[in-house]
C-alpha cells in the first residue's frame, strides 16, 4: 500500500481517486522526465498516477511567478536537448509547446571594448570571429557550425582513425580540444562554458570534451546545436505540454503529494515509498551513495526595470539589440579566467570573479514581465555547497555574493545593479531542498566519464531497472543524463511496457 502526505480540502478528491483504484504504474515525481514516462505509459494502455511533492509540476523545468508580474524559469532556462521523438510522438506542439529561436544566440562582451556575437548565421559568425582571427573564422566554418554533425559521424563510424579521434575528444579536457581548434581567447572561453556548466570541474578537467558534446548535441526544428527560449511562459511550458499529453492519454497527476516510503513485499516486489535501505543489495546502495553529486552552481532570477546597456556596443546597438537575444557570457574572456574561478571553489570559496551566463528571455517573450521591464536569468559558477568562509543560510552572506555577481556585470554594463527590482537566489543547498536535486547537482549526478553510458547511474544498472522488481529509474540520473531531454523518461517507459506485456503473456 501507499502512504502519502496530502493537504486537506482540495486534495480530498485526489486522495479518494488514488485509494479507490489499483494503478498499473505509479510515477514518483512530476519532473519533465516523470511526466514523459507517464505520457508514454498511459498511451501504452496502462493506468498511471503521478505523485509530485511540490505544489507545481515540472521539477527543474518550471515557471514560477515569485515577484508579482514576473514569471521566472526558475531552474532550467533554455531548451534544445528535448528529443525530437518526444516532441513529435507526444504531439507537444498541439499541447502548447512553442519554441522561439534566438539569433544571435551568444554574446561575449570584453572589458577592452570588443565583443563576440555568435549564432546560427554562418556569415555573422565568420565576420565576428574575423575581428579577432581570420584563421579561426575560417576554421569555425567547419568546427563551430558542423560540430554536432561531426560528432554524430564519429559516433557511428567504424573507421579506426575516426574512432581514435572520437576517443581523444571524449577523454580530453575542453582546453585541449579548444586549443587544438582555435587561437582566440574569447572564442575558446565562450565555447568552453558549455564544457563546465553545472559541474565542479574546470576547462582543464579530463572528460570535459564530452560535456561540451552533450550540450551541443541537441536540435530545434532540425537545426542542431540551436538553443531556444520557450515562448509564452518559460520552461514550465515544456512540462505543461507534456502533462497535457499525459492527461489526454489518461494519466492522473497529483501535486502536493509527497511519497514517503516504498513497501517491498516478501517476494521482493515494490508496492510503495522511498525504498527501505535493507531491501537493496549492499553493492548497489554503496555505488549510489558514493556517486558524485557535487555542485558548484547557483541560479539567480532577477526582475529589472530596464535592459542592461553593455559598454562595448552601446554606441553601435543603442537600446535593445542583438546583444540581448542570446546567452551573454560575463567573466568568460579567457579559459584562464574560468580556471581561476574554479580554483577558488576548489579551495572552498565562491568564485571571486564568478563565471556568469546571463539570459534575458523577456526580450523575445513579452508574456513573462510587465511592459518596460525584464526578466533576467543568471547561471553562476562556482559556488561550493559548503563554503569555507560562510554559510548559504546566512542572509548577509547570500546578499554579499549576489552583489558580487551584480558588481561584476556592472563592469560590463554600468548601472546594472541599480536596475534590479528584486531577485530569487538558488544555491546548491536550495536546489537540493526545494527542487530535490541531491547536492544541488543539476544533472542528478555528475556527467563524468565514470558515470556515463553503461555506467549511469552506476555500473550494471544502466538499463533503467533496479535490483527490485517493478521499480525503474526514469530521471536524469539515468542514461543519457541531464538536461531537459525527455529521453530517460521515454526509454524507461518503453522498457516498462515491454515488461508489462511479458507479464501478461
pLDDT digits (tens, 9 = 90+) for 403-420: 999 999 999 999 999 999
pLDDT in tens, 202-224: 999 887 777 777 656 556 666 66
pLDDT at position 146, please? 52
Q: How confident is the model at residue 2 (pLDDT cuts 50, 70, 90)?
A: very low
8 Å CB contact between 157 and 151: no
Residue 115 belongs to what H/E stretch? strand 115-118
| CA–CA dist 82, 32 (Å, integer) | 10
Residue 290 cell numbers, joined: 558514493
8 Å CB contact between 371 and 411: no
Please report whether residue 309 resides in a domain. yes
| CA–CA dist 376, 426 (Å, integer) | 14
Is pLDDT above 70 for 94?
A: yes
| CA–CA dist 324, 373 (Å, integer) | 14
Q: Name the residue among 95, 55, 433 with its Cα closest to residue 239.
A: 95
pLDDT at position 13, please? 63
pLDDT at position 318, please? 87
| CA–CA dist 152, 36 (Å, integer) | 25
Number of domains in the chain: 1
Please report whether residue 74 resides in a domain. no
Please report whether residue 497 resides in a domain. no
Query: Is residue 147 classed as helix, strand or coil in its secondary structure?
Result: helix
| CA–CA dist 323, 334 (Å, integer) | 19
For the chain, give the number of residues. 505
pLDDT at position 363, please? 95
8 Å CB contact between 209 and 171: yes
Q: How confident is the model at residue 264 (pLDDT cuts 50, 70, 90)?
A: low
User: Which tops the pLDDT comparison, 479 or 15?
Assistant: 479
Please report whether residue 308 resides in a domain. yes
Please report whether residue 338 resides in a domain. yes
224-248 mean pLDDT: 84
Residue 59 cell numbers, joined: 521539477
Please report whether residue 10 resides in a domain. no
Q: What's CA 202's distance to the chain center, in Å?
A: 18
Is pLDDT above 90 for 375?
A: yes
pLDDT at position 482, please? 79
Q: Which domain holds residue 311?
A: 297-438
Is pLDDT above 90 for 112?
A: yes
Please report whether residue 314 resides in a domain. yes
Please report whether residue 68 resides in a domain. no
Exposed / middle / buried, residue 318 (Cβ in 10 Å: 0-12, 13-18, 19+): exposed
Is pLDDT above 50 for 74?
A: yes
138-162 mean pLDDT: 60
Q: How confident is the model at residue 380 (pLDDT cuts 50, 70, 90)?
A: very high
Highest mean pLDDT among 170-179, 206-215, 475-484, 488-497: 488-497
pLDDT at position 298, please? 98
Amino acid at each position: 500500500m501507499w502512504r502519502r502526505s496530502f493537504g486537506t480540502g482540495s486534495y480530498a478528491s485526489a486522495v479518494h481517486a488514488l485509494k479507490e483504484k489499483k494503478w498499473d504504474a505509479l510515477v514518483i515525481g512530476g519532473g519533465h522526465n516523470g511526466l514523459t514516462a507517464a505520457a508514454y505509459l498511459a498511451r501504452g494502455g496502462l493506468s498511471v498516477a503521478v505523485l509530485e511533492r511540490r505544489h507545481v509540476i515540472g521539477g527543474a523545468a518550471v515557471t514560477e511567478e515569485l515577484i508579482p508580474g514576473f514569471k521566472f524559469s526558475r531552474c532550467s532556462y533554455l531548451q534544445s536537448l528535448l528529443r525530437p521523438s518526444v516532441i513529435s510522438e507526444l504531439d507537444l506542439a498541439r499541447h502548447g509547446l512553442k519554441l522561439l529561436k534566438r539569433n544571435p544566440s551568444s554574446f561575449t562582451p570584453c572589458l577592452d571594448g570588443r565583443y563576440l556575437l555568435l549564432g546560427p548565421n554562418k556569415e555573422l559568425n565568420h565576420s565576428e570571429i574575423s575581428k579577432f582571427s581570420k584563421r579561426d573564422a575560417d576554421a569555425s566554418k567547419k568546427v563551430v557550425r558542423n560540430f554536432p554533425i561531426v560528432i554524430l559521424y564519429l559516433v557511428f563510424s567504424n573507421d579506426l582513425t575516426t574512432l581514435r579521434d572520437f576517443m581523444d575528444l571524449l577523454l580530453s579536457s575542453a582546453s585541449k580540444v579548444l586549443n587544438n581548434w582555435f587561437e582566440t581567447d574569447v572564442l575558446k572561453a565562450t565555447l568552453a562554458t558549455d564544457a563546465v556548466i553545472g559541474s565542479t570541474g574546470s576547462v582543464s578537467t579530463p572528460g570535459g570534451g564530452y560535456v561540451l558534446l552533450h550540450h551541443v548535441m541537441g536540435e530545434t526544428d532540425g537545426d542542431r546545436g540551436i538553443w531556444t527560449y520557450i515562448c509564452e511562459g518559460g520552461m514550465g511550458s515544456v512540462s505543461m505540454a507534456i502533462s497535457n499529453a499525459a492527461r489526454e492519454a489518461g494519466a492522473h497527476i497529483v501535486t502536493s503529494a509527497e511519497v514517503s516510503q516504498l513497501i517491498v513485499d516478501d517476494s521482493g516486489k515494490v508496492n510503495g515509498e522511498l525504498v527501505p535501505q535493507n531491501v537493496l543489495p549492499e553493492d548497489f546502495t554503496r555505488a549510489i551513495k558514493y556517486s558524485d553529486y557535487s555542485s558548484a552552481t547557483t541560479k539567480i532570477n532577477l526582475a529589472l526595470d530596464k535592459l542592461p546597456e553593455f559598454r562595448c556596443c552601446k554606441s553601435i546597438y543603442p537600446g535593445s539589440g542583438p546583444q540581448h537575444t542570446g546567452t551573454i557570457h560575463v567573466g568568460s574572456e579567457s579559459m584562464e579566467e574560468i580556471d581561476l574561478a574554479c580554483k577558488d571553489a576548489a579551495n572552498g570559496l565562491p568564485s571571486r570573479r564568478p563565471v556568469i551566463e546571463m539570459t534575458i528571455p523577456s526580450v523575445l517573450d513579452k508574456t513573462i514581465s510587465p511592459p518596460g521591464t525584464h526578466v533576467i536569468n543568471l547561471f553562476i559558477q562556482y559556488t561550493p555547497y559548503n563554503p569555507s568562509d560562510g554559510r548559504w543560510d546566512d542572509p548577509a552572506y547570500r546578499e554579499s555574493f549576489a552583489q558580487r555577481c551584480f558588481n561584476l556585470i556592472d563592469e560590463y554594463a554600468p548601472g546594472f545593479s541599480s536596475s534590479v527590482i528584486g531577485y530569487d537566489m538558488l544555491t546548491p543547498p536550495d536546489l537540493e531542498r526545494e527542487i530535490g536535486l541531491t547536492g544541488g547537482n543539476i544533472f542528478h549526478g555528475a556527467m563524468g566519464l565514470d558515470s556515463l553510458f553503461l555506467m549511469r547511474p552506476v555500473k550494471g544498472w544502466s538499463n533503467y531497472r533496479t535490483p527490485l522488481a517493478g521499480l525503474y529509474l526514469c530521471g536524469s540520473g539515468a542514461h543519457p543524463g541531464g538536461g531537459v531531454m525527455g529521453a530517460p523518461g521515454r526509454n524507461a517507459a518503453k522498457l516498462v511496457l515491454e515488461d508489462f506485456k511479458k507479464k501478461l503473456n
